[in-house]
Amino acid sequence: MTDTIFGKITRGEIPTEFLYEDEHCVVIRDINPQAPTHVLIIPRKPIPMLVEANSEDQALLGHLLLVAGKVAEQLGVGDAFRLVINNGAGGGQTVFHLHLHILAGREMAEGALAAGLH
Ligand code: 5GP
């Protein structure tokens, strides 16, 4: 499986501040924030993209959502944030190691296609 920058970050090979970490995932600030609060929830398991997850990953995927809610609350944006997963180059994915974006702190346009990521 191809390694990515997120593999190196989750393994601690590139010094990066973890806003949260546990045995399954880490949370870091996005290097190129698209909103005042923009963090990434990255599983330690290097699943390249969401469609490559399988039934074995069900608990992990649920865990990532729970962590998203918890971290959003810790960051003070628990009542107003957007959660984004880009899947595939056509979906705007640039790092092929599954991750969730939490975006908050700016007006979020309404509508499914208004995420404003990339
Ligand atoms: P994607 O487009 O794959 O959904 O999101 C990848 C995100 O990772 C982008 O928002 C990009 O700014 C962020 N990113 C890419 N490389 C790094 C890095 O080395 N460190 C951090 N903190 N974020 C990164």
Q: What does the pLDDT look like over 9-33, one tens digit per residue?
A: 999 999 999 999 999 999 999 999 9
Which one of 3.30.428.10, 3.20.20.70, 3.20.20.105, 3.90.870.30 gives the CATH number of domain 5-96? Answer: 3.30.428.10
Share of the chain above pLDDT 70, in %: 92
Tokens of 25: 């995932």
Ligand 1 pocket, 33 CB below 6 A?
Answer: no
Domains of the chain, by residue range, sit at: 5-96
Active site residue 63: no
CA-angle at 16, arms to 14 and 18, nearest 5°? 135
Q: What does the pLDDT look like over 55-100, one tens digit per residue?
A: 999 999 999 999 999 999 999 999 999 999 999 999 999 999 999 9
Residue nearest to atom 24 of ligand 1 (CA): 31
Ligand 1 pocket, 41 CB below 6 A?
Answer: no
Ligand 1 pocket, 93 CB below 6 A?
Answer: yes
Q: What does the pLDDT look like over 24-62, one tens digit per residue?
A: 999 999 999 999 999 999 999 999 999 999 999 999 999
Query: Are 86 and 27 contacting, i.e. CB atoms less than 8 angstroms apart?
Result: no
Adjacent-strand bridge partners of 43: 25
- Atom of ligand 1 at shortest distance to CA of 84? 4
Q: What's this model's pTM, rounded to 2 decimal places?
A: 0.94
Task: In whole angstroms, give the CA distance from residue 43 to residue 76.
Answer: 22
Single out the catalytic residue among 38, 63, 97, 99. 99
Q: For a ligand 1 pocket test, name from 21, 30, 50, 96 the mutation site with the most ligand atoms within 8 angstroms of its C-beta.
A: 30
- Residue 78 DSSP label: T
